């Protein structure tokens, strides 16, 4: 240990050593600029800050992170200086703008790996690099190639009954040595004791309009389902997956009688509804699980207009994956102040992990895929592998988007069609915005208006980036989820004028302005998001360690299915840690008073064996995001779920107005299952 200690003591402190942790992990967000020898008294650093975006991650249409560069420079002699960004091969070369001593904010930049140059220039608008003064490389430049071998193809089964996960088609390789390993839990399949031929076929979703005082019978049961050439036992509500789309007026009261006809206990959580906590469906907090053959009666209220959803709160990793989820559309006066549209379409997005014959087995007592969560290999839109819509030229369609997948974050776009963001988790956005894609984390909702200007076909696509495991090169991953065919006579009436207008909602602006005054203070509470592992196979730990030199802010694609599959809830504990007390998960015992406005900081610890983003959900209340990596957010909307990127910090202003005991947890089903939840009391 002498040599490293000696080197450390000799190291000259660099500009990134004086780093404010609020700005995110320095290993992902700070570039130390290195001067040319003639400029040895010049120093500088670049802070990589998330560009302004309504979403949890500022991303381009193809899924690259969009970053603003905040340059802090010292010691520049008299003269004119410019900053530039380029790819590793000096292509493309982007002039960022003029810089001076002190701080300059430039950008945004969306390059996977890049070099930053600061040059001295005589020209006022140089188009090529002048005398080099400082340069630095993006943190992503540390990625180095790995040893990897071809992954076994779909259908490979171990002697203990575990079928290995199918490789990702974009990167069919794996770390050598993993092929002999399987999860340290017993494989489990739904409906093993049921006769598959006796089960009804899964039906498509139907619309159910509910009025004040109505009662809905909701049966969670087993169905026979066909997806991508496999026929298997799945779950459904009233035989439908997604379950019935419930449409209800704001302010209504509705009774739902849940009957459990599954082969395991269940409950229903009404995601986003600020209802009576006794009917929140949070097993172990507000109710006991409903055993097979039994029922439970929920009394629902709908205080906010918007798009909500319902899903079980028992073994989500199994039950949600097998199709137990549905949407709730709450109507209110909201629609009158939003732009007019020709049609509304409610889309619930999912992915399912299929092996040779059906869903890959689940862990009987503990979840598999405990690190990244279970990424599927077949996309589902409203339960169908390929969603189709017919539209007319000029038609404006309002898309209500919900992400019901276990772990996947979508970056959705429709090439060739303009999209306007109009609402989020719990109602309208304060400022409508044009967006080129929608970043949708697990359990989040966003609402966009889309206009199909002319005839043609338009693909609904998920366009993201992954890191190819062998070359460790950035890889575009593109999946088509559906197609809109636009043809025939023009849609009437012509809504181009309405569509072209971006609304500013003054009522919301006033609400958020009042909260914004609270956002500048020190946080009332800080939660650190982390992970602890114990007993993982040595080969897997080695492979994971090699991957943490740099990590994507969002794990989009799940390109390492073997590594992910092998880790289970037996070895992995995901953690929410109160930084003031050191208490974790269910030992965190927060109590607030009704009416409290709390500033909560979420810090996603990247110095772990497997850093990853987390979609954090709070039951029964609402919040707005006020800062990301210490940068104030401009776009406010009421939310119940927020993406916290790996190595990033997010500040929330929470309105605690609904009394009861409420869960706060990660909505990656496998993270929730492996401990990542706490309870907040509101008195």
- Interface positions with Cu ion (CB under 5 A): 614, 666, 668, 671
In whole angstroms, the minimum distance from the beta carbon of 352 to Cu ion comes to: 20
Closest CA to 627 of 480, 550, 522, 531: 522
To the nearest whole angstrom, how small is the minimum distance from the Cβ of residue 12 to Cu ion? 38
CA gap 381, 402 in Å, rounded: 10
Of 371 and 477, which has the nearer Cβ to Cu ion? 371
Provide the minimum distance between the beta carbon of 219 and Cu ion in the complex, in angstroms, as a whole number.
31
Name the residue nearer to Cu ion (CB basis): 358 or 373: 373
CB of 384 to Cu ion, least distance (A): 28
Q: Around 391, how many Cα atoms within 13 Å sit in the side-chain half-sphere?
A: 28
Alpha carbon distance 372, 560 (integer Å): 9
User: How near is the Cβ of 611 to Cu ion at its closest, in Å?
Assistant: 11
Is the C-alpha dihedral spanning 586, 587, 593, 599 positive or negative? Answer: negative
CB of 22 to Cu ion, least distance (A): 21
Coil, helix or strand for 65? Answer: strand
Rounded to a whole number of angstroms, the minimum distance from the CB of residue 316 to Cu ion is 12
- What minimum distance in Å lies between the beta carbon of 386 and Cu ion? 29
- Closest to Cu ion by CB, 559 vs 664, is 664
Least separation in angstroms between CB 524 and Cu ion: 22
For residue 99, what are the β-bridge partners?
A: 81
* Alpha carbon separation from 668 to 282, 296, 385 (Å, rounded): 16, 26, 22
Where does 316-386 show beta strands of DSSP type E? 326-331, 343-352, 362-363, 378-381
In this structure, the number of other CB atoms found within 10 A of the CB of residue 309 comes to 25
Q: Answer whether 85's CB lies under 8 Å from 109's CB.
A: yes
How many C-beta atoms lie closer than 10 Å to residue 101's C-beta? 14
Rg (CA), the chain: 25
**Least distance in angstroms from the C-beta of 679 to Cu ion:** 17
350 vs 449, beta carbon nearer Cu ion:
350
Nearer to Cu ion, 536 or 672 (CB): 672
* Nearer residue to Cu ion within complex by CB, 27 or 373: 373
CB of 18 to Cu ion, least distance (A): 31
Q: Provide the sign of the torsion angle of the four alpha carbons 422, 425, 428, 429, taken in this order.
A: negative
Among residues 487, 452, 480, 486, which one has the least CA distance to residue 464? 480
Name which of 24 and 358 has its Cβ closer to Cu ion.
Answer: 24
Choose between 167 and 645: whose C-beta lies nearer to Cu ion: 645
d(CA 210, CA 214): 6
C-alpha span between 331 and 641 (Å, rounded): 21
Beta bridge partners of 254: 300
Distance, in Å, from the CA atom of 352 to the CA atom of 359, rounded to the nearest integer, reads: 7
Between CA 341 and CA 420 the distance in angstroms is 12
Least Å distance, CB 559 to Cu ion, is 18
Residue 94 region, left (φ>0) first, then alpha (ψ -120 to 50), else beta? Answer: beta
End-to-end CA distance of the chain: 53
CB 53 within 8 A of CB 66: yes
Could you tell me if 546 and 146 are in contact, meaning their C-beta atoms sit under 8 angstroms apart? yes
Q: Are 448 and 339 in contact (CB under 8 A)?
A: no
What strand order describes the sheet that includes 474-486?
Answer: 387-391, 474-486, 456-467, 410-414, 438-440
Closer CB to Cu ion, residue 622 or residue 671? 671
Nearer to Cu ion by Cβ, of 460 and 625: the residue is 625
Q: Which is nearer to Cu ion, 373 or 413 (CB)?
A: 373
**Nearest CB to Cu ion, comparing residues 525 and 671:** 671
- HSE-CB at 173 with a 13 A cutoff on CA atoms is 14
Give the residues across from 109 on adjacent strands: 67
Whichever of 71 and 666 has its CB closer to Cu ion, that residue is 666
Taking the complex as a whole, how short is the minimal distance between the CB of residue 297 and Cu ion, in angstroms? 32
Report the alpha-carbon distance of residue 659 to residue 286 in Å, rounded: 12
SS3 553: coil
Query: In angstroms, what is the minimal distance from the CB of 671 to Cu ion?
Result: 3
134 vs 602, beta carbon nearer Cu ion: 602
Min CB(628)–Cu ion separation in Å = 17
Task: Between 244 and 441, name the residue whose CB sits nearer to Cu ion.
Answer: 441
The rounded distance, in Å, linking the Cα atoms of 652 and 649 is 10
The C-alpha atoms of residue 442 and residue 445 are separated, in whole angstroms, by 9
């Amino acid at each position: 240990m002498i040599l490293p200690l000696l080197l450390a003591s000799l190291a000259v402190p660099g500009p990134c050593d004086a780093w404010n942790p609020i700005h995110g992990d320095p290993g992902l967000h700070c570039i130390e600029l290195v001067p040319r020898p003639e400029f040895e008294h010049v120093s500088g650093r670049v802070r990589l800050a998330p560009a302004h975006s309504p979403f949890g991650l500022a991303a381009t249409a193809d899924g690259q992170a969009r970053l603003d560069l905040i340059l802090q420079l010292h010691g520049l002699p008299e003269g004119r200086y410019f900053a530039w960004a380029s790819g590793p091969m000096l292509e493309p070369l982007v002039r960022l703008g003029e810089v001076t001593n002190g701080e300059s904010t430039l950008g945004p930049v969306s390059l996977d790996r890049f070099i930053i140059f600061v040059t001295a220039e005589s020209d006022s608008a140089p188009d090529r690099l002048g005398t080099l003064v400082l340069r630095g490389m993006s943190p992503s430049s540390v990625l180095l190639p790995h040893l990897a071998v071809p992954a076994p193809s779909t259908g490979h089964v171990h002697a203990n009954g575990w079928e290995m996960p199918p490789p990702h088609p974009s990167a069919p390789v794996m770390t050598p040595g993993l092929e002999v390993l399987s999860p340290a839990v017993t494989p489990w399949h739904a409906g093993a004791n049921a006769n598959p031929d006796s089960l009804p076929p899964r039906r498509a979703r139907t619309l159910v309009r509910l009025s004040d005082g109505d009662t809905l019978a909701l049966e969670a049961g087993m169905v026979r389902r066909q997806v991508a050439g496999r026929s298997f036992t799945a779950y459904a509500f009233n035989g439908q997956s997604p379950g019935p789309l419930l449409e209800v007026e704001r302010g209504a009261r509705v009774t739902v009688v849940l009957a459990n006809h599954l082969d395991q206990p269940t409950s229903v959580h009404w995601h986003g509804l600020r209802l009576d906590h006794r009917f929140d469906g949070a097993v172990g907090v507000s109710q006991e699980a409903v055993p097979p053959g039994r029922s439970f009666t929920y009394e629902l209220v709908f205080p906010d207009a918007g798009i909500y959803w319902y899903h079980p709160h028992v073994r989500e990793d199994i039950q949600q994956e097998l199709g137990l989820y549905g949407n709730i559309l709450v109507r209110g006066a909201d629609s009158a102040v939003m732009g007019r549209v020709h049609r509304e379409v409610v889309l619930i997005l999912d992915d399912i992990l299929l092996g040779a014959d059906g869903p890959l087995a689940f862990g009987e007592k503990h979840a598999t895929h405990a690190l990244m969560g279970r990424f599927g290999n077949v996309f589902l839109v409203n339960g169908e592998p390929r969603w189709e819509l017919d539209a007319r030229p000029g038609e404006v369609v309002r898309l209500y988007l919900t992400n019901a997948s276990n772990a996947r974050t979508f970056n959705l776009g429709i090439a060739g069609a303009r999209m306007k963001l109009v609402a989020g988790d719990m109602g309208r956005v304060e400022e409508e915005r044009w967006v080129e894609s929608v970043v949708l984390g697990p359990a989040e909702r966003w609402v966009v208006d889309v206009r199909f200007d002319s005839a043609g076909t338009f693909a609904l696509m998920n366009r993201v980036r992954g890191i190819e495991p062998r070359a460790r090169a950035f890889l575009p991953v593109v999946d088509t989820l559906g197609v809109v065919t636009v043809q025939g006579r023009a849609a009437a009436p012509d809504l181009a004028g309405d569509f072209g207008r971006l609304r500013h909602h003054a009522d919301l602006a006033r609400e958020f302005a009042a909260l914004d005054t609270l956002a500048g203070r020190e946080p009332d509470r800080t939660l650190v998001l982390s992970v602890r592992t114990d007993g993982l196979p040595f080969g897997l730990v080695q492979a994971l360690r090699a991957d943490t030199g740099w990590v994507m802010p969002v794990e989009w694609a799940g390109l390492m299915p073997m590594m992910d599959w092998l880790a289970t809830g037996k070895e992995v504990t995901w953690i929410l840690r109160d930084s003031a007390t050191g208490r974790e998960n269910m030992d965190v015992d927060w109590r607030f008073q009704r009416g409290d406005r709390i500033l909560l900081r979420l810090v996603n610890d990247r110095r772990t064996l497997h850093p990853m983003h987390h979609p954090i959900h709070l039951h029964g209340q609402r919040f707005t995001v006020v800062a990301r990596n210490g940068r104030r957010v401009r776009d406010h909307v009421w939310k119940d779920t927020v993406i916290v990127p790996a190595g990033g910090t997010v500040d929330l202003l929470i309105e605690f107005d609904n009394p009861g005991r409420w869960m706060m947890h990660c909505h990656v089903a496998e993270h929730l299952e492996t401990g990542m939840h706490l309870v907040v009391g509101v008195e």
